[in-house]
């Protein structure tokens, strides 16, 4: 009676099974919607998260900065680049132990190339309820203008 050797095929299948498990694990690690991902990949979460909106005569940048005050955040405007930097410090009072810390102490810095020229003298910034709002007025020559259409 003839029987087929299965050891070679079995080893081959087992190797690819292990490679498939590794691929599935890597897919889970880099999946952006998973809360577990942020713990495994610290570079996937950016701080602070921002929105930049063009409102015609001005640009409005909002950034999530929970637990930070105006003294914790520094803004710099250099030509058409806005930089936000600062430090998030520990919340626990001196002499107390932190049992769980999901918001780490960290220094942060982000820069944004702005889409138009800004008038730096009219720029304003406020922090309220954990949201930094920066209002950047466009330079007069960068503001949109309406052109009237005439008929012959």
pLDDT value for 33: 52
- Give CA–CA dist 106/47, Å, rounded: 10
pLDDT value for 118: 92
Q: For 56-81, how does the pLDDT look when each residue is reduced to its tens digit (9 = 90+)?
A: 889 999 999 988 888 999 999 998 89
Per cent of the chain over pLDDT 90 is: 38
pTM for the predicted model, two decimal places: 0.63
Of these ranges, 2-6, 36-40, 124-128, the one predicted with the greatest mean pLDDT is: 124-128
Please classify residue 51 by burial: count the beta carbons closer than 10 Å to its beta carbon, then call 0-12 exposed, 13-18 middle and 19+ buried. exposed
Q: For 73-120, how does the pLDDT look when each residue is reduced to its tens digit (9 = 90+)?
A: 999 999 889 999 998 887 778 888 887 877 778 889 999 999 999 999
pLDDT over 50 (residue 35) = no
């Amino acid at each position: 009676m003839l029987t087929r050797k299965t050891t070679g095929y079995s080893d081959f299948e087992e190797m690819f099974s292990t490679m498939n498990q590794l691929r599935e694990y890597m897919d889970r690690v880099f999946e952006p919607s998973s809360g577990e991902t942020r713990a495994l990949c610290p570079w996937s979460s950016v701080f602070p998260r921002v929105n930049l909106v063009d409102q015609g005569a001005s640009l409005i940048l909002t950034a999530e900065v929970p637990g930070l005050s105006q003294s914790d955040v520094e803004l710099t405007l250099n030509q058409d680049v806005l930089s936000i930097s600062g430090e998030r410090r520990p919340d626990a009072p001196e002499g107390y132990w932190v049992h769980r810390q999901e918001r780490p102490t960290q220094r942060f810095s982000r820069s944004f190339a702005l889409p138009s020229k800004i008038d730096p003298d009219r720029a304003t910034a406020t922090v309220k309820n954990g949201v930094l709002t920066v209002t950047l007025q466009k330079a007069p020559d960068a503001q949109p203008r309406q052109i009237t259409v005439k008929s012959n």
